Chain A
Amino acid sequence: MQRSRGEKWFNVVNMLFMLVFSFLCLYPFIYILAISFNDAMDAQKGGIYIWPRMFSLKNYEVIFSDQNIFLAYGVTVARVVVGVITQVLLVAMFAYVLTKKNFPLRKFLNWWIVIPMFLSGGLIPFYITLQQLHLLNSFWTYIIPGLYGAFNIMLVRTFMTELPEALEESAKIDGASDARIFFSIIFPLSKPVLATIALFVGVSHWNDWFTGFTFISNTKLWTAQNLLLFLIQSNEASNLAVLSKMHQGAVTVTAESIKMAMLIVTTAPILCIYPFLQKYFVKGIMLGSLKG
């Protein structure tokens, strides 16, 4: 089929626009990366856009010579690992029960998880609840109030409903208990959807700064996001003494350069698993939106 001139122009303009847009999405990361790898004093002169002018690892040295960052990273990783494992397991168990048509509590359980999606007590009553449960200011604040996600339960339930029933029946005839059926048949078969929610949960644990910010005042329990937020929101360089005090010798870093390096350190894991991540996420949002 012939292409008219107007159509060609449309294509060119559209692709140019998309290139500009993609650049805009990516560029801030490149900019920060270049600055973080540049000598701090030199970076203050400006003019660094894509590549460092005076390559230096000083910023990262300062960050990594400080114990806080390791502590924060450790807390974050621990929280992601524990949070993902517990949520995937609990959500899968709950969802499995919701697929049992002959289970008398099924209807009740459906409502039990749906109602809180529309009604909630709000932040302050939630805070008071955590206080009464003695859950403020401990590592478990990151895990326990986030054990279940109602949306994830529904996603997994939808997937499990579509598994062939015959598998379960034959196992039942062979005398397998529900627990046995769940752990050796249903759970392994649900791997695709469980991997999807594991990513959802992992990323939200990694990105969450609110829990640490609101419910935890002990800075030893801060996550990397909390440390970053602290650095970004404190505009005075004096607050950075916390970080640079550890570093002996002449001051070769600035508040700005430390912030940029910290930004990269906090983002890097997400960027590394991103190519793998986004495919699953897109699948997940499709599953969720079409069935919801």
Chain B
Amino acid sequence: MATLAESQTNTAVEARRRAMTKRILHKMWDQRWLYIFTIPGIIFFLLFSYYPMVGIIIAFQDYNPVKGYSGSEFVGLENFKTIFNLPDFTNALRNTVIISGLKLLIGFPVTILFALLINEIHQTVFKRFVQTISYLPYFISWVIAAGLWYKMLSPDGGLINEMLTRIGFLNEPFYFMGSTHAFLPIVIFTELWKNIGFNAIIYLAALSGIDPHLYEVSSIDGASRIRQIWHIALPGIRGTMVLLFILSASGLMSAGFDQLWTMGNLQVQEVGQILDTLILSYLRNSGGFMGLSLGATMGVFQATVGLILFLVCNFVAKLIKQESLI
């Protein structure tokens, strides 16, 4: 009897399990297209995003391309010690922080100012005109932007030199792009030139969300335009400002690779070499095996600091957001 009951429940369990498997398989068959749609994506990210993460291991190896990841000798933190003793690296690290720090400190307020001023234009056609023109440089590559400004600033008949010599400001043409003093201001200026219009869009969106009644009421009270900007517009975009500041502060380790590679040159390497350009030059020039490991080590350092900055900034953003909500 007992065995009979047991076998009965056994078959019942078995049948239920079989039914469930059948149901799952049936559902999978039902959703077969969804699986098919995502398989290329799963493989893609595995190959081009996750597998390269495995490659970080070479930062801890004396990597030899012939032997590969598994055959190369493990050296622990040796590469990290080496890069910190490389003047090239410490110099590039310093430049990275200086350039992206300056871009943030100057670009951030200037972009806000630009958005506020655009917002103050009430002639719709003119406003649209200015905006459309100001986005234009954003859509060209840095190769083109660098080419334009190289020519504008060129000592052989570039416009700026021509103007400055004509008005007597310069006696002879000045090689702006080759000057370590002029390079940094040029980098900041061209960055603003290229991106300010486009970066202002988010602020303009926030500004358009401010209740127009506030402006009306304040103008009845006799507030000037400047006061309106100060007391209505600026507080209205405070949240956006804080968020964007924090997010761009987390990008301290990347100072604008495309720009600095296309505008940089040997004469200004001392001030223009950043981590990204240094890593690329390690990849391109050092045929030696050691170069790949050292370059990867610099990359790991850069990415780690970048990730930490991002996490900290994200945390701060959350704190501030909560605070302003209370």
Contact with A along B16-37 (1 / 0, CB 8 A): 0000000000000001111111
B136 touches A123 (CB 8 A): no
A1-39: contact bitstring with B at CB < 8 Å (1 yes, 0 no)?
100101100110011011001101110110110010000
CB neighbours of B132 from chain A (8 A): 275, 278
On whether the beta carbons of A127 and B283 are closer than 8 Å, the reply is yes
Q: Point out the residue from A10, A120, A177 that lies within 8 Å of B49, measured CB to CB.
A: A120
The listed residue (B133, B146, B226, B299) touching A123 by CB distance below 8 A is B299
The answer to whether A6 and B156 have CB atoms under 8 Å apart is no
State the majority secondary structure of interface residues on A. helix
- The answer, among A94, A122, A286, for a CB contact under 8 Å with B296, is A122
Q: Is there contact, CB below 8 Å, between B296 and A125?
A: yes
Known A47-B162, A103-B31, A124-B299: A209·B143 in contact at CB below 8 Å: yes
* 8 A Cβ contacts from B270-284 to A: 276, 279-280, 282-284
Q: Is B245 an interface residue (CB 8 A)?
A: no
Q: How far is the CA of A43 from the CA of B159 in the complex (A)?
A: 12
From A24, A129, A148, A232, give the contact of B44 (CB < 8 A): A148
Which A residues are CB-close (under 8 A) to B226? 10
B37 → chain A, closest Cβ, in Å? 4
Kindly identify which residue among B48, B152, B225, B262 contacts A10, using a CB–CB cutoff of 8 Å: B225
Q: Do residues B279 and A122 form an inter-chain contact, with CB atoms below 8 A?
A: yes
Contact A26 B133 (CB under 8 A): yes
CB distance from A101 to the nearest CB of B (A): 12
**Residue A244 lies at the interface, judged by CB distance under 8 Å to chain B:** no
Among A116, A131, A290, contact of B45 (Cβ-Cβ < 8 Å): A116
A41 to chain B, nearest CB (A): 12
A203 to B280, alpha carbons, bound, how many Å?
A: 23
Does A282 make an interface contact (CB < 8 A)? yes
A127 to B162, CA, bound (A): 44
B55 interface residue per 8 A CB criterion:
yes
B47 at the interface (CB under 8 A from A): yes
In contact, B34 and A103 (Cβ under 8 angstroms) = yes
A192 CB-CB contact with B under 8 Å: no
Q: Is B303 an interface residue (CB 8 A)?
A: yes
Measured CB to CB, the closest approach of chain A to B169, in angstroms, equals 16
Q: Is the CB of A18 within 8 A of B118?
A: yes
Specify which chain B residues have a CB less than 8 angstroms from the CB of A35 in the assembled complex.
151
Instruction: Give chain B interface residues in 160-177, CB to chain A under 8 Å.
Output: 162
Q: Name the interface residues of B111-129: CB closer than 8 Å to any CB of A.
A: 114, 117-118, 120-123, 126, 129
Determine whether the beta carbon of A96 is less than 8 Å from that of B310.
no
B56 and A121: CB pair below 8 A? yes
Residues from chain A with a CB closer than 8 A to the CB of B197 are 25
In the bound assembly, the distance between CA atoms of A25 and B149 in angstroms comes to: 12
- Does B205 touch A at the CB level, under 8 Å? yes
CB nearest neighbor in A for B284? A214
- Flag whether B290 is at the interface (Cβ < 8 A): no
Chain A residues whose C-beta falls within 8 Å of the C-beta of B134 in the assembled complex = 21-22, 25
Determine the interface band of chain A, counting residues with CB < 8 A from chain B: 35 or more
- Pick from A25, A124, A210: contact of B133, CB under 8 Å: A25
* B52 close to chain A: CB less than 8 A: yes
Q: Which of B52, B151, B154 contacts A125, CB < 8 Å?
A: B52
Contact A178 B151 (CB under 8 A): no
Cβ of B157 < 8 Å from any Cβ of A? yes
Closest to A90 in B: B40
Contact B130 A18 (CB under 8 A): yes
A115 to B307, CA, bound (A): 12
Contact A105–B52 (Cβ < 8 Å): no
Q: Is B224 within 8 A of A18, CB to CB?
A: no
The minimal Cβ–Cβ distance linking A21 to chain B, given in whole angstroms, is 7
Q: Which of A56-64, A155-163, A245-253, A259-267 contacts B (4 or more CB under 8 A)?
A: A259-267
Is the beta-carbon distance between B283 and A24 smaller than 8 angstroms?
no
By a CB distance below 8 angstroms, the chain B residues around A93 are: 37-38, 41
Contact between B117 and A14 (Cβ–Cβ < 8 Å)? yes
Report yes or no: B44 in contact with A25, Cβ–Cβ below 8 A.
no
Q: Are B136 and A25 in contact (CB under 8 A)?
A: yes
Query: Using Cβ atoms and an 8 Å threshold, which residues of chain A touch B35?
Result: 105
Which A residues are within 8 Å of any B CB, using their own CB?
1, 4, 6-7, 10-11, 14-15, 17-18, 21-22, 24-26, 28-29, 31-32, 35, 43-47, 49, 90, 93-94, 96-97, 100, 103, 105, 109, 112-113, 115-116, 118-129, 131, 133, 145, 147-148, 153, 177-179, 182, 203, 206-210, 214, 225, 228-229, 232-233, 256, 259-260, 263, 266-267, 270, 274-275, 277-278, 281-282, 285-286, 289-290
List the 5 closest pairs (A to B, CB-CB), nearest first.
Answer: A125-B55, A122-B299, A121-B52, A116-B49, A207-B141
27 A-B pairs in the complex with CB atoms less than 8 angstroms apart: A4-B224, A6-B225, A10-B225, A25-B137, A26-B136, A28-B148, A32-B148, A35-B151, A94-B37, A109-B42, A112-B41, A119-B53, A121-B56, A122-B56, A122-B279, A122-B300, A125-B56, A127-B283, A148-B41, A225-B141, A232-B143, A232-B147, A232-B262, A266-B143, A274-B139, A277-B139, A281-B135
